[in-house]
């Protein structure tokens, strides 16, 4: 076997895919702004945010090799990252779309507020583990140490499950072994300090009660004891204050460690599972009582995009003998199948994101609609989808002047603008007042279907004045054929989207997440 038979295929592969792979790898590393970026959200959301982040640079690369060599194109795209503000702002936007780090922080807050109960299967292991440091769970039932004990048991249960995950060689635990080791060191020191403080405070309070002959539940006697001005009483009060300060300092240190443990456990659960629901189930096994995860946007846009793809495929199959795509037929059909789901994915995600994150996307205190947001949110969608549309223009009409095609195709971006505007209008809680759910859904369908039809007629009117290459599909179609092949399917598509999906989007976008809580560090637990 000659070496040329191996080298030639490799050269062909790297000439075709080497440049794009280098671009993807470069911006893959740019997307990771902190250690364990992937663990701050679910895997599907992370991949979606990463794909949105890299797509514009890949589209630029697809256009550049016609003017530059592949190597020069790769270098040029790397230098693009040095442009001030814009690339970093784009990365921040894509990370927020993916829920980085909001998803993990919100899950941590949910854990902090959730009821906790050590599972019966974990209690024997906890008792054996804590008895090694001299802590017996039943020894510290006094009123002043109940808050300490509840925190300590929660921390110990978390460390027990983290230890099990580490023994199972989970990827997240191995990648973050240094942080886990730091948490483990802080926890070990805290165990011995907890035993020392609780025993000291118990002895102090016991001595005060014994010397004063006061029962713990005799509040009148305790009040009199605190107001005496004898030397013995002052010493007892000083000892009582010192014991209270020790317990308060211990509680603060436990809260600092618990804050970090909850975030670490949330990241571990998100990194090991595909969905929020499965992550919450895994954390529930530790002892947290978490409510079921609310419907997320990922499933919603996936279903909407799948419906859009199936609808377009059915339309192509049904009208294949009547409608003929201009330019390259295969690229034209691929454009129809991909661009319509992308319209829904990008614009629904944008509306969902802005509605939840920023006040200008919601009604005012007087219930007035945010007209500015409704009219401008679609501009973001058009800007994001413009590189994809330009790429399809290049491949669908290779024989025509590229710049001329791109400029004449700009009005097509009215569709993403209109979809986002209608979605932003319909997700407002005050749009239909207090109508029944069925009435609201019917009106959603009529508005979305009518809006899609109006956008089609506007695009047709623009085509009559300034011809667009992609709209040549309607040039040789009669009036009734146009109505049956374009108008009615467009209205039906919009009505179905509005009726089936707008209520879902409205409910999902009304939830307010934890945006940027303070992220503590284990070093704050000064033990």
Residue 180 CA to residue 187 CA, distance in Å, equals 10
**What is the rounded average pLDDT of the residues 25-53?**
86
Q: Is residue 20 over pLDDT 60?
A: yes
Query: Pick from 497, 506, 503: which is nearest to 352 by CA?
Result: 506
**What is the rounded average pLDDT of the residues 206-222?**
55
| pLDDT tens-digit series, residues 231-249 | 445 555 555 566 667 777 7
Residue 253: count other Cβ atoms within 10 Å of its Cβ: 21
Q: What is the mean pLDDT of the chain?
A: 79
Q: What integer pLDDT is reported at residue 172 of this predicted model?
A: 85
| pLDDT tens-digit series, residues 494-516 | 999 988 888 888 877 775 554 44
Q: Tell me the CA distances in angstroms from 36 to 29, 68, 518, one per residue in order.
A: 12, 36, 18
Q: What integer pLDDT is reported at residue 453 of this predicted model?
A: 92
Q: Is residue 222 over pLDDT 70?
A: no
Q: In this structure, what are the phi and psi dihedrals at residue 288, rounded to the nearest 5 degrees?
A: -85, 140
Residue 122 structure tokens: 């974990």
| pLDDT tens-digit series, residues 100-151 | 888 888 888 888 888 888 877 877 787 777 777 777 666 544 434 467 778 8
Q: What integer pLDDT is reported at residue 520 of this predicted model?
A: 45
Residue 158 CA to residue 282 CA, distance in Å, equals 12
Q: What integer pLDDT is reported at residue 419 of this predicted model?
A: 92
Residue 283: count other Cβ atoms within 10 Å of its Cβ: 24
Residue 36 CA to residue 160 CA, distance in Å, equals 22
Residue with the two structure tokens 């507020």: 113
With contact defined as beta carbons under 8 Å apart, do 370 and 363 qualify? yes
Q: In terms of DSSP H, where are the helices of 40-176?
A: 43-63, 70-80, 86-97, 102-113, 123-131, 146-167, 171-175
> How many alpha carbons lie under 13 Å from residue 301 in its C-beta half-sphere?
24
Q: What integer pLDDT is reported at residue 417 of this predicted model?
A: 92
Residue 302 structure tokens: 């996936």
Q: What integer pLDDT is reported at residue 521 of this predicted model?
A: 47
**What is the rounded average pLDDT of the residues 318-338?**
79
Using a pLDDT cut of 90, give the percent of the chain over it.
Answer: 5
Q: Which of 97-101, 333-337, 404-408, 523-527 has the lowest mean pLDDT?
A: 523-527
Q: Is residue 399 over pLDDT 70?
A: yes
């Amino acid at each position: 076997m000659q070496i040329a038979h191996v080298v030639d295929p490799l050269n062909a592969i790297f000439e075709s895919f080497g440049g794009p792979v280098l671009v993807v790898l470069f911006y893959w590393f740019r997307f990771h702004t902190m250690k364990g970026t992937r663990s701050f959200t679910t895997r599907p959301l992370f991949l979606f945010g990463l794909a949105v982040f890299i797509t514009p640079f890949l589209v630029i690369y697809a256009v550049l090799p016609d003017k530059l060599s592949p190597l020069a194109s790769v270098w040029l795209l790397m230098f693009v990252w040095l442009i001030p503000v814009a690339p970093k702002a784009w990365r921040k936007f894509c990370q927020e779309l993916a829920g980085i780090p909001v998803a993990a922080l919100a899950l941590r807050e949910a854990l902090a507020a959730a009821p906790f109960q050590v599972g019966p299967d974990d209690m024997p292991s906890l008792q054996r583990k804590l008895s090694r440091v001299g802590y017996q769970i039943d020894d510290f039932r006094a009123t002043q140490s109940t808050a300490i004990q509840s925190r300590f048991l929660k921390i110990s249960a978390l460390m027990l499950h983290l230890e099990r995950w580490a023994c199972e060689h989970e990827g997240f635990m191995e990648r973050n072994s240094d942080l886990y080791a730091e948490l483990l060191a802080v926890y070990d020191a805290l165990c011995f300090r907890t035993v020392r403080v609780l025993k000291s405070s118990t002895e102090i309070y016991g001595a005060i009660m014994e010397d004063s002959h006061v029962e713990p539940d005799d509040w009148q006697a305790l009040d009199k004891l605190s107001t005496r001005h004898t030397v013995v009483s002052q010493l007892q009060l000083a000892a009582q204050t010192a014991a209270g300060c020790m317990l308060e300092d211990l509680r603060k240190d436990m809260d600092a460690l618990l804050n970090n443990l909850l975030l670490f456990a949330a990241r571990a659960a998100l990194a090991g599972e595909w969905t929020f629901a499965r992550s919450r189930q895994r954390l529930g096994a530790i002892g947290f009582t978490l409510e079921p995860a609310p419907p997320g946007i990922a499933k919603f846009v996936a279903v909407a995009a799948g419906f859009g793809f199936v609808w377009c495929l059915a339309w192509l199959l049904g009208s294949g003998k009547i409608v003929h795509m201009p330019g390259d037929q295969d690229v034209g059909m691929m454009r129809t199948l991909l661009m319509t789901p992308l319209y829904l994915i990008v614009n629904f995600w944008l509306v969902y994101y802005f509605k939840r994150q920023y006040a200008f996307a919601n009604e005012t205190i007087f219930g007035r609609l945010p007209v500015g947001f409704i009219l401008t949110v679609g501009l973001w969608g058009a800007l994001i989808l413009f590189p994809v549309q330009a790429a399809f223009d290049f491949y669908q009409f290779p024989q025509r002047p590229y710049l001329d095609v791109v400029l004449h195709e700009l009005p097509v971006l009215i569709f993403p603008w209109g979809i986002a505007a209608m979605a932003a209008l319909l997700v407002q809680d005050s749009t239909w007042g207090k109508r029944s759910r069925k009435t609201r859904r019917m009106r959603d369908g009529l508005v979305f279907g009518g809006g899609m039809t109006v956008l089609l007629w506007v695009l047709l009117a623009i085509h009559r004045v300034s011809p667009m290459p992609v709209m040549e599909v309607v040039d040789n179609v009669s009036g009734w054929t146009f109505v049956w092949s374009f108008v009615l399917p467009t209205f039906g598509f919009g009505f179905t989207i509005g009726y089936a999906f707008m209520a879902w989007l409205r409910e999902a976008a009304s939830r307010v997440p934890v945006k940027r809580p303070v992220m503590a560090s284990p070093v704050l637990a000064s033990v």
